[in-house]
Structure 1
Amino acid sequence: MIGKKTGLLMALLAVCMLSSTVLAKDTLQQSGKGIKIWFDTGGPVGETYNTIVQHGAEQAAADLGCDIEFMYSDWSPQKMLENFQKALAAGPDGIVVMGHPGDDAYAPFIKEAVDKGIIVSSSDTELPNLMEKYQASGFGYAGVSNYARGKALATEAVNRFGLKKGDRALVWGLKSQPTRGLSSKALIETLENSGLTVDYMEISPEIDKDASLGTPVITAYLSSNPDCDIVIMDHGALTAQLENFFRAAGIGPDEIIGAGFSLSPATASAIKAGYVDLVGDGQPYLQGYLPVLQIVLTKRFGFSGLEIETGGGFIHTANIDLIAPLAEKAIR
């Protein structure tokens, strides 16, 4: 299996090889011309995180010349499965999924797709068993290790902010989901191993779909737990709402440490305003771009699946001015 550290390099080398092939014919061509891809962006139309994923996929489709159809699942694992069946019925060349439903739930549908010659690749959340089984058929992954990203954010928060035994943390996440939930589990375990008292709340399906609905939930928690030292949102759209949540709870800048995942214009503004202090960046633009490239590489040239780690470190007050203009364009 191709490792995450080498996957991106190999993808770039593949692009160079393709360029050499076309140049040898003295004619520049778009290698994705005529290829049809259905892509599940995961969230609802217009939500911050999956909009960045979609922009990456749109750019890849424009660069490669392929046709792309987007699906929206409101972050519902059940709807992701329904959308996959809809895409399967349309008979495209490739389908991009997000792995929230898990290996077992997807297994019969992806088997049917592969048996029909449809290339399937995954984004955002791993499907390790299915990738192992179908990697030779082009099943790749562009994203982060959910457990690793949770552990990394919690470790960075503890070290950066000097959190210690007895401090209280809130983790608001999706622990119930098979693979996606590993991020929440890692956050909790890492904070508890550092001696913190950790409260956990599961994100409801309604709030998962529309993060603004979380305001009364978080304000009630903060009212009941005035000793909370850090709030971590294991969800990009909830992270984007942190400033609104804190304001609604009567909490000013830098009174509580705010942390989460994924950049957006609202999150960038909240970092500058002192309401969000640390963001783990999985670079979702690449999670849109690379699966489209994967399907084209497999369809045109028989490349097997690439496993590419898109994690891009942390965003905070020291580097937000560099990255914020890209957030405004929904690239970072």
Structure 2
Amino acid sequence: MDTNKRRLTPAERTTSRRVTTLAVGVAATVLLAGCSGTGGKPESAGSGMGAGTADTPHATIAMITHEVPGDTFWDLIRKGAETAAAKDNIELRYSSDHEAPNQANLVQSALDSQVDGIALTLAKPDAMAPAVRAAVDAGTPIVAFNSGFDQYQAQGVSQYFGQDEKLAGISAGQRLTADGAKKALCVIQEQGQVALEARCAGVVEGFKGQTEILNVNSKDLPSVEATITAKLQQDPSIDHVVALGAPIALTAIQSVANAASSAKIVTFDTNAALVDAIKAGDVQWAVDQQPFLQGYLAVDSLWLYLNNRNTIGGGTPTLTGPAFIDQSNIDSIAEYAKSGSR
């Protein structure tokens, strides 16, 4: 028995059980679809992800996100969605806009084109509410994922796939305490984005040290680098930088070097480059919400509803995280993170 292995927090144990149950259900769904399919070719030969093609009627689903151009996190979301669509005989129409009013317009455009279902993120729920209500009133099946954990039900959306961002933040704060951190800088790359705000709020609650919030603009990474550098130079007592996305964490590596700071970097979310940063010790750990799984479940849940009126979660969120990735387990998931199937 390894006596040095870190004990899971109660929040992590609960999430682990729910994600394990979810994974078994997903595997059963994929197997069932493969057995009842037409024997079509797998979506990605050699990837192990193909399960044949369902013989259910062809459907069109719109996936509409708040993706920031250049953020490869969304490649993982999209890969999961495309994998489910290929299995489910679905045409996937992916679109995104970082600005909430424009994202709402994309929802209306999807309705106008008479798609069979919509999967969307609710990063700024108030701005999205009228478009979501229009979809609900039109009887178009709609699911939320990734952002909007606390808001989706009030908007009439029946299913949600993602992590409890406040819980994820609390878990991160507890780990910071266990790591011996004293002062953390929590970097929010988009002020007003509900998932990001909830993460930092959770860090503040879970961390027994001092937490300071720093707002930056993720669309201008050179500015992000300069702002974090200046903050670290101004306050040498900061011993941990908490990034809320892989691009910010990777940028913070240079900021720490610029400031000649001894601060350690931790983050939420992963991408291929972050895998190497964790292996090298430049980033200590990441909170993983399994974006591939979010995209997959969002599309697959709509297929289940359209063909069998199934809903997942019984009206409650279906959690895909949080889980921690660090040097102790990075090798086991590195291949999947880099191939876009994590």
Q: Give the match's secondary structure for 2:239.
A: strand
Q: Is the 8 A contact 1:56 1:288 kept in 2?
A: yes
- Which residue identity does 1:176 align to in structure 2? G
Q: Deviations over 1:69-127 (max 9, x none)?
A: 111223x333322322222222211111112112x443332222122231111111235
Aligned match of 1:121 in 125, 140, 143?
A: 143
Q: Deviations over 1:35-80 (max 9, x none)?
A: 1111123213442211111111111111212101111223x33332
The two structures, once aligned, show a CA RMSD in angstroms of 2.7
Equivalent residue, structure 1, for 2:264 = 257
Change in Cα spacing, 1:40 to 1:249, as seen in structure 2 (3 Å) is farther
Query: Using the alignment, how far apart are the partners of 2:22 and 2:325 within structure 1?
Result: 24
Q: CA deviation at 1:282?
A: 0.5
Q: CA deviation at 1:200?
A: 0.8
Q: Is the 8 A contact 1:122 1:142 kept in 2?
A: yes
Equivalent residue, structure 1, for 2:277 = 270
Q: Is the 8 A contact 2:149 2:164 kept in 1?
A: no
Count residues with an aligned counterpart: 308
Consecutive unaligned residues of structure 2, counting only runs of 5 or more, are 1-14, 39-51
Q: Is the 8 A contact 1:42 1:50 kept in 2?
A: no
Equivalent residue, structure 1, for 2:12 = none
| TM-score normalised by structure 1 residue count | 0.82
Equivalent residue, structure 2, for 1:199 = 212
Aligned match of 2:180 in 156, 162, 169?
A: 162
Greater relative contact order (CA < 8 Å, ≥ 6 in sequence): 1
Aligned match of 1:172 in 187, 190, 196?
A: 187
Q: CA deviation at 1:241?
A: 2.8
Q: CA deviation at 1:175?
A: 5.9
Q: Is the 8 A contact 1:146 1:183 kept in 2?
A: yes
Change in Cα spacing, 1:17 to 1:294, as seen in structure 2 (3 Å) is same
1:106 and 2:116 are equivalent in the alignment: no
Change in Cα spacing, 1:33 to 1:296, as seen in structure 2 (3 Å) is same
109-118 or 214-223, which moves further after superposition? 109-118
Alignment identity in percent? 24
Change in Cα spacing, 1:243 to 1:326, as seen in structure 2 (3 Å) is farther
Q: Deviations over 1:161-196 (max 9, x none)?
A: 123xxx2210112563345421111112322xx1x2
| TM-score normalised by structure 2 residue count | 0.80
Q: CA deviation at 1:17?
A: 5.8
Equivalent residue, structure 2, for 1:141 = 160
Q: Is the 8 A contact 1:169 1:228 kept in 2?
A: yes
Consecutive unaligned residues of structure 1, counting only runs of 5 or more, are none
Q: Deviations over 1:260-302 (max 9, x none)?
A: 1111122111112221001101011111110000111111111
